[in-house]
Each structure stands twice: as structure tokens, then as C-alpha cells.
Homo-oligomer: A and B are copies of this chain.
Amino acid sequence: MTAQHPFDAAMALTPSEASPDVLTGCVSPTYWNMVGPFGGTTAATAVQALMQHPARLGEPLSVTVNFAAALGTGTFQISARPVRTNRSTQHWVIELTQADATGADSVLMTATAVTAARRQTWSQNDTPMPVVPPPHTLPQPHYPADLAWVKAYDMRLVQGAVPDVLDGSGEHSLSQIWLRDEPPRPLDFAALTAMADAFFPRIWLRRASRVPAGTVSLTVYFHAGSDELAQSGSGYLLGQAQAQAFRNGFFDQAAQLWTDAGVLLATAHQIVYYKE
């Protein structure tokens, strides 16, 4: 018997008997971050919930996840409700809750998503993959050692590490990183969603200062179907992330993810809280 991959364990959702919309999951210690689980896995759970839904039409096109509060350890409930099904698109409303100290349900994540049945059309990639060295020639980045989830990825740094000297001397916010699951695992929409959030806070690089920061809202647009994800196999993706603006407690991040063959799989955006 083969051991289950930690990401599959993190994504395991059990449907309720009451409704196909409601599932139960359990927070994975493998993907623990500082005060809660890695937001990428929480976002991936939203995608996983609709992937498992018996009424799903098509494949993920977009998902927006809002992180309302940190999840605790233990079980959670997630509901994924198809509120509108058109001929080729379907609209989802998603909510994740966990019992609080009093036993009452507390909303920790809201999300919306669109799935779509895609057809072949004229296509054009206007964001070619940057020319960078291959992963095996590059070092692993030095992440803070207290973050469990980082060990669940094999990352190879092209440029834009967390600065070694945190002296406020940062000049840009651009990072380029090869990444794949560790151990390797065939890519799917849930894993791609998690990887779209696998960049450390841009302000650590831009300010050369490790101020507290946390994602408030994340949007992922999928530019590829499951066939193209399958072609990527368990290979590295090249991820690129950069901020456009830092203003009064919040900055944004724009990200792209390509296969090692240069296929743009996803673009993603997030708005992130920071302190000071």
C-alpha cells in the first residue's frame, strides 16, 4: 500500500449525508503556517470542494478566496453551493466554518468560483515565461525555519529571496521561484491554487524588513484545462510574484505560474495586510 501524499491528506473532504454542498475536512499539520494553516491550502480546499461536487459543470476558471480569520487545528465544515448553472459556466458560493470556543459556527473563509466547459478557440499567450536557469542549478531559498508548509514544497530560487540583512534597504518586490510539491505529486487544480499563494509577503523583500503580514483576499484565474495540468505532471512550475503598491496597511501581489515547458497555467492576485 502506498502512503497517501500529504497534500491529498490535506485535501480529504468527507461529504455530509444531509447535502452534497456540505463537506467536512481536517486541518493538516504538514501545511501549518505561523498562526494557522498555509492560506494556499485553505484556498485549495475551496477548489477541492467544488471539484468533488456531483453537480459540477466544467473545470475551474476563477476562484476568489477571502481569509476572514485564521483556522485553528482540527475539523472544519465547508459548503460549496452552485447558485447558477448556465450552458457553459457555473457560479459557486463557498463558505468555510469552524466551531469557536463556545461551540458556535464561526465563518473563517468566504469564496466564490466559476467553473466552465471550455472549447478550443484562437489563443495567444502574451506573457511568455522569463528565461531563467533550470531548477537543478539553483539553490533552495532560506525561509524562516518555523514554517512547516515550506517543507512541503521543493523551491529553487531564481531571484528575489527574503533578504539576509533586514535593514530597510529593499528596492523591488520581484521574486522568481521554481516550485513543486515535496514529495513530487501530479498537478491538479487544487495543488495549482495552493502554489499560487506560495510566495512570502512581498513587503519582506520590498522593505527588507520582516513585518507581520497576511493575505486578506486571493484570486486565481486558470488559463489551462486538466489536460494541460496533466502534461505538467509532477514537474517544477516557475512562479513569479510582484507587488504594484503598498499603501496604509495593505499591498497587492500579482503572480504568474508556468510549466517548465513555458505554458502559462494561472495568473493570480492578492491583497495582503501588513503592519507598520
Contact = CB atoms under 8 A, between A and B. Distances in A.
Interface of A: 61-62, 64, 66, 68-69, 83-84, 86, 88-89, 91, 93, 95, 106-108, 110-112, 114, 116, 118-127, 172-173, 206-207, 216-217, 219, 221, 223-225, 242-250, 252, 254, 256, 264, 267, 269, 271, 273-276
A83 B111 CA distance: 12
Nearest to A108: B84
Contacts of A83: 68, 95, 107, 110
Contacts of A122: 207, 246, 276
Given A118-B249, A269-B219, A111 B112 contact: yes
18 contacts: A62-B217, A64-B64, A68-B91, A69-B86, A88-B249, A93-B95, A93-B110, A111-B112, A116-B216, A118-B248, A121-B248, A124-B206, A124-B245, A126-B173, A219-B219, A224-B247, A244-B267, A269-B269
A187 to B, nearest CB: 17
A107 B61 CA distance: 19
Among A62, A95, A116, A264, the most chain B Cβ lie within 10 Å of the Cβ of A62
A118 B250 contact: yes
B112 A64 contact: yes
Contacts of A246: 122-126
A243 B89 CA distance: 21
Contacts of A89: 68, 216, 273
A217 B256 contact: no
Q: Which 9 pairs from chain A and chain B are nearest by CB?
A: A68-B84, A64-B64, A127-B244, A118-B248, A68-B91, A124-B246, A62-B217, A223-B247, A123-B247
B118 A243 contact: no
Contacts of A245: 124-127, 223, 264, 267
Contacts of A88: 249
Contacts of A249: 88, 116, 118-119, 121
A271 B173 contact: no
A219 B114 CA distance: 13
A62 B216 contact: yes
